[in-house]
Structure 1
Amino acid sequence: MEKKWWHGKIACQVYPKSYYDSNRDGIGDLQGIISKLDYLKALGIDIVWLSPVYRSPFVDQGYDISDYYEIAPEFGTMEDFDTLLAEMKKRGMYLVMDLVVNHCSSEHKWFQEAIRNPEGPYGKYFYFRKGKDGHAPSNYRSYFGGSMWEPVPGREDLYYYHAFAKEQPDLNWYCPELRNKIYEMINWWLEKGVAGFRIDAIINIQKDTTFPDYPADGPDGLCSADTVVSRASGIGEMLEELKVHTFQKYDAFTVGEVFNMKEEELQEFIGEQGHFSTMFDFSQHLLTAGEHGWYEQRPFCFEAWRDALFTAQEKAASVGFLSNIIENHDEPRGASTFLPDYAQNDDGVKMLATASLLLRGVPFIYQGQEIGMRNFKARSIEEFDDLNTKDQYELALRMGCTEQEALVCCNRMSRDNARRPMQWNTEDNAGFTTGTPWLKVNPDYTKINVQGQESDPDSVLNYYRKLTALRKDPRYVQTFTYGRFVPVRERIPEQVLAYLREDEQQKILVLGNWSEQTVKVSLENAVKEVLLNNQKAFRINEKGQVELQSCQALVLLL
């Protein structure tokens, strides 16, 4: 494998609106992030992925961009952004922006011009189609519910296409003028000093532009967005052109948010000459949501979770690097999702972190994950802000759930779980703001916060710091970065996760006990050194078996 500058790095996603508010308006901002860079550096972070800070009406929390060249005033100014870049450079850190180019905001000047004159030059930047028999051009359901087609105001029987909210019209990537505008914008940010991009919903740029109907999969007579995307083709040529005109010229780090990729395309996406440096592994997250909605959500199953993790690692082994996550801004908190009830404690959170951060690939930590932030228990749907959550609540009610049952679904799955303000201390609003926070703070901040964990050597935060230090330790960094991932399945008790990171120099065994009982694990090789242990006890019995307590994680040099 050709070595790249981002190999061996650890990344953190910062959600600016909820990170730290420096000006008391209840919204996190760029100056707030700047003030916490030393905290991120101490956590072992090299790359910061910044969720969108572009100008936006915030219908979908900044993923509806009205100006790609401007910073949203809620977050600060371009001068603040330049200061952030400079301060990160001083610390040897890299900034990765969120690239949202499947769609823009309906307030973007392109769309405003297009809606005034769909037949004009900007009309080609979007998808306008005539309706069929007084109805939408096709029977597609948007990700946020309802039709993907929205009537054009003042134009009888003319619609525009939006895979997400109606305020997020899809951009027409089959228009050369539009593509060139996007490439120009990307290069402008790279020239400014951005190190790369996390690329949002990028598989959606491919379309079957005939927009045929597909069999309905719900009582609304519509078919899912996943079906629509999976039936389209030609994404490879589009992504390769994107890379050649932008990322490749700057040796940029790119991580794709990719769903609905065909299995045989993995090499094209993240291979040596792939479209992207890496892509997120969502295989475990896909296990929890129901087939048709959150009302069908499935309980956590350790065996399915472990098998999904192993399968993803094995498929990528000879291809390239995955980016490994426990949670992000679109997912509920991992501590509340990937641990059984009895394991939702500090030891369980440390065990989950150990399993994720030592995988082969690029580890991503989401803000608050490093202190074990949990899901928020809302008492009514009014306590949510997220569009998707409100749609799923209404869907659950239509499918026969009671209001309480629908609320339970949302409390478990809502994107707002990860978007609650960062918990810095025990002061009002968790030290996030002295104003009124844009989204209610989780009341458990009095027990789970950075300040309290800083001074506790056994805290989740300090364990995360040990994990990142271990991954970067000069004695082991080659193995953790380039070494093989070998799942251990034989002679392993149920509910135990076991895998090796190995190369020609050394074997490192990672163990985690997801069961409620103490278990015994037989080893093929003797233990040379305990590199990390989330509990105080470590015992090898007379048979040479390691005894793992419930929720115990061990990293062993064999």
Structure 2
Amino acid sequence: MIKKWWHDKVAYQIYPKSFLDTNGDGIGDLRGIISKLDYLKKLGIDIIWLSPIYKSPFVDQGYDISDYYAIAEEFGTMEEFDELLSEAKKRDMYIIMDLVINHCSDQHEWFQKALADPDGEYADYFYFRKGRNGNPPSNLRSYFGGSCWEPVPGTDKYYLHMFAKEQPDLNWENPLLREKLYEMINWWLEKGLAGFRIDAIINIKKDLDFPDFKPDGPDGLAGCWKMVDEVDGVGELLEDLKKHTFQKYEAFTVGEVFNMKEGELDAFIGENGHFSTIFDFSAHMLSEGEHGWYDAPPVDFKEWRKAITDSQLKVQNCGLEANIIENHDEPRGVSRFLPDYAQNPTGTKMLGTISVLLRGIPFIYQGQEIGMQNAVWNTVDEYNDINTIDQYHTARDAGLTDKEALEACSRLSRDNARTPMQWNTRENAGFTTGTPWLKVNDNYTEINVETQDTDPDSVLNYYRKLIALRKSPAYKEVFAYGEFLPVYQNTSSVMAYYRKTENQRILITANFGKEAVSLTLEYPVKQILLSNMASAEHSLPSNDIITLNSCEVLVFELETL
């Protein structure tokens, strides 16, 4: 593997709206991010990904962009953004932004011009199509529910939106549009941005015939992802994008890629892949219900272990993936992937260790480093997320009671990850002096940065040690490039793997079960590198046998033999 500047880095995702508010308007801002750069540096972070901060009506939390060249005034100014770039550079940190180019806002100048002249140049920046027999052009259902097609006022045409109706899809078949997007991307890279997280990018390729698909719900519609699954040719568009932008700047790019076809992994993240890396969503897919969140199964440990193991084994033949426990689109990992008895600091440290030491680029989501958990939601009115509200109504329409629908949303709502960052025990968790845009999790008095900062056994200080181990001169080579080898797969509660180079062998082993487990070691132990228990002395092997308590994780350096 040709070594790249980002291979041994650790990334951190900031959801700006919920990170830190410095002007009392209840919305996080750039000034808040700047003020916490030293906190992130101490954690061990190299790359900071900012969720969208562009000008937007915020129908979908900024993923509906009305001006790609402007900072939303809710977050601050372009001068403050430039200051953030400068301050990050002083600390040897890199900033990447969200790149949302499958769609824009219906308030964007391009779309407004398209509406003004539905047969003109700008209409071809989008997908304007005539209806069929008085109906929309096809029976595609959007990701957020309802038809993908919205009428163009005063015409017999419709426009395509795979997300909210306020997010019209951009027509990537139009070379003039692509040129405008590339110009914008290069403008940000010239500014000093290190790269992008690329949103919903697999959706840019459409079947221009827009055929009907077999309905998969009582509304007579079919999920738009069916078209994405079946259409070919997205790779050509992605290569064009890379060639005209990222490649020129050695930019770090991480793709949000679903619906990848068999055998395409190398094309996406191989030596000459479309992107530097893509997120591994294999574990998150285990929570997908057949009809929605309301029939989503709980995560089974063995299936979770298999999903991660299979993904690691598959990807190490071609590149590096980005490993996550949670992000702004997912519920909190502690509440999702850990059994009830493990949803505590010990279990939280265990889950973090397994994720951060995998082969690939670790992405920490804000609040993960202190073990933030899902909130308790009492009514649907407490939610802000458009997707959650749609899923609530989907559950109610399927016959669930209000309480049952709320329980389904409480488990899987994206708003669980969007509750304000818990900085201290003061009002609103220290996030704002005003009224927070989304409610603060009630448990902030127990789980917060200030309390954990001075507690040597806290989740925060454990994450600091964990990241320091991954990046330490003695071990960063094995953790960045070492092979992933699963072990103890025949157990019912142990997740364990080796990270191995010619000269080093590290064993990471964790007991997700309720009872202690004994394991026979295959290699002699040189030393214990990390443990989530106060004292790991009991875990030193006796006659090549180690005993792991419930929720215990141990990281050993072994003899290579």
TM range (shorter): over 0.9
Residues 185-224 of structure 1: matches in 2 within 5 Å? Answer: 185-224=184-223
2:488–2:494 Cα contact (<8 Å) kept: no
The residue number in structure 1 matching 2:553 is: 553
CA distance in structure 2 between the aligned counterparts of 1:84 and 1:507, rounded to whole angstroms: 39
Q: Secondary structure at the match of 1:469?
A: helix
User: How many angstroms does 1:225 deviate by?
Assistant: 2.1
Q: Secondary structure at the match of 1:363?
A: strand
Residue 135 (structure 2) aligns with = 135
Residues 493, 521 of structure 1: 8 Å contact kept: no
Alignment partner for residue 496 of structure 2, among 495, 498, 502? 498
- Corresponding residue of 1:434: 433
Would the alpha carbon gap of residues 16 and 542 (structure 1) be closer, same or farther in structure 2, given more than 3 Å must change? closer
**CA displacement, residues 470-498 of structure 1 (integer Å, 9 cap, x when unaligned):** 001111000000110111145x5211001
Give the whole-Å Cα distance in 1 for the aligned partners of 2:539 and 2:168. 59
SS in 2 for 1:89: helix
Paired letter, 2:152: V
SS at structure 1 position matched to 2:265: helix
Distance 1:82 1:98 in 2: 16
Taking the aligned partners of 1:503 and 1:118, their CA distance within structure 2 comes to: 60
Tell me the SS of whatever aligns to 2:395. Answer: helix
Cα distance in 1 between the residues matched to 2:497 and 2:437: 42
| 1:368 paired residue number | 367
SS in 1 for 2:264: helix
> In the alignment, which residue of structure 1 is the partner of 2:121?
121
- Counting only pairs closer than 5 Å after superposition, residues 108-507 of structure 1 correspond to structure 2 as 108-155=108-155, 157-489=156-488, 492-507=490-505
Gaps of 5+ in 2: none
Q: What stretches of structure 1 of length at least 5 have no aligned partner?
A: none
Residues in 1 aligned to 2:280 and 2:299: alpha-carbon distance in whole angstroms? 17
Name the CA distance, whole Å, in 2 between partners of 1:275 and 1:481: 21
Structure 1 position 523 matched with structure 2 position 513: no
Per-residue CA deviation, residues 363-391 of structure 1 (Å, 9 max, x unaligned), is 00000000000001110000000000000
**Identity across matched positions, percent:** 64
Distance 2:224 2:280 in 1: 20
Query: Could you give the per-residue CA deviations for residues 80-124 of structure 1, whole angstroms, max 9, x where no partner exists?
Result: 000000000000000001000000000000000001111111011
Q: Deviations over 1:120-159 (max 9, x none)?
A: 110110001111111111000100000000011122x310
Q: Which amino acid aligns with 2:141?
A: R
Q: What CA distance in whole angstroms lies between the structure 2 residues aligned with 1:290 and 1:355? A: 26
1:541 deviates by: 5.7
Q: Residue 550 of structure 1 aligns to a residue in which SS? A: coil
Which residue number in structure 2 is paired with residue 89 of structure 1? 89
Aligned to 1:74: 74
Quote the Cα distance in structure 2 between the aligned partners of 1:225 and 1:418.
26
Residues 272-281 or 529-538, more deviating: 529-538
The superposition leaves residues 499-547 of structure 1 with CA deviations (integer Å, 9 ceiling, x where unpaired) of 0000001100000100000000111101110000000243346442110
Task: Look up the equivalent residue of 1:456 and give its one-letter code.
Answer: D
Tell me if structure 2 keeps the 8 A contact 1:150–1:166.
Answer: yes
State how far apart, in whole Å, the 2-side matches of 1:142 and 1:493 are: 42
**One-letter amino acid of the structure 1 residue matched with residue 106 of structure 2:** S
Where 1:282 maps in the other structure, the secondary structure is: coil
Q: Counterparts of 2:511 and 2:99 in 1: how far apart (Å)?
A: 38
SS of the residue corresponding to residue 34 of structure 1 reads helix
- Match of 2:196, SS? strand
CA–CA separation in structure 2 for the residues paired with 1:272 and 1:143:
32
Task: Give the match for residue 38 of structure 1.
Answer: 38
Give distance in 2, aligned partners of 1:542 and 1:389.
51
1:209-251, CA deviations, whole angstroms, 9 ceiling, x for partnerless residues? Answer: 1000010011110111221210111001000000000000000
Distance in 1 (CA, whole Å) between partners of 2:65 and 2:440 is 26
Counterpart of 2:447, as a letter, is I
1:49 alignment counterpart: 49
Aligned-CA RMSD value: 0.8
Q: Which residue of structure 2 lines up, in the alignment, with residue 17 of structure 1?
A: 17
1:185 positional shift:
0.1
- The letter for the 2-side match of 1:444 is N
Secondary structure at 1:49 match in 2: strand
Q: How far apart are the structure 2 equivalents of 1:308 and 1:176?
A: 39
What is the aligned partner in structure 2 of residue 61 from structure 1? 61
Alignment partners' CA distance in 1, 2:290 and 2:263 = 23
**SS state at 1:214 partner:** coil
Q: Indicate if the aligned counterparts of 1:493 and 1:519 stay in contact, CA closer than 8 A.
A: no
Question: Distance between the aligned counterparts of 2:195 and 2:488, measured in 1?
Answer: 37
Q: Deviations over 1:397-440 (max 9, x none)?
A: 11111110000000000000001100000000000000000001
Residues 300 and 340, structure 1, Cα contact 8 Å, conserved in 2:
no
- 1:39-78 deviation per Cα after TM superposition (whole angstroms, max 9, x unaligned): 0000000000000000000000000000000000000000
Aligned counterparts of 1:541 and 1:266: Cα–Cα separation in 2: 40
Counterpart AA for 1:523: L
CA–CA separation in structure 1 for the residues paired with 2:372 and 2:474: 31
Q: For 2:391 and 2:469, locate their aligned partners in 1 and report how far apart those are by CA, in whole Å.
A: 41
* 3-state SS in 2 of match to 1:321: coil
Please give the alpha-carbon distance, in whole angstroms, between the structure 1 residues aligned to 2:416 and 2:138: 34
Shift of 1:5: 0.6
- Please name the residue that 2:506 is paired with: 508
Shift of 1:263: 2.1
> What amino acid maps onto 1:265 in structure 2?
E
Separation in structure 1 between the aligned mates of residue 105 and residue 244 of structure 2, nearest angstrom: 24
Distance in 1 separating the partners of 2:82 and 2:302: 46
Supply the distance in 2 between the matched residues of 1:64 and 1:542 (Cα, whole angstroms): 59
- Which residue in 2 is equivalent to 1:106? 106
Query: For residue 225 of structure 1, what is the amino acid of its counterpart?
Result: C
TM-score (norm 1): 0.99
Give the partner amino acid of 1:255. V
Aligned to 2:337, the other structure's residue is in SS state coil
Letter in 2 for 1:254: T
SS of aligned partner of 1:528: strand
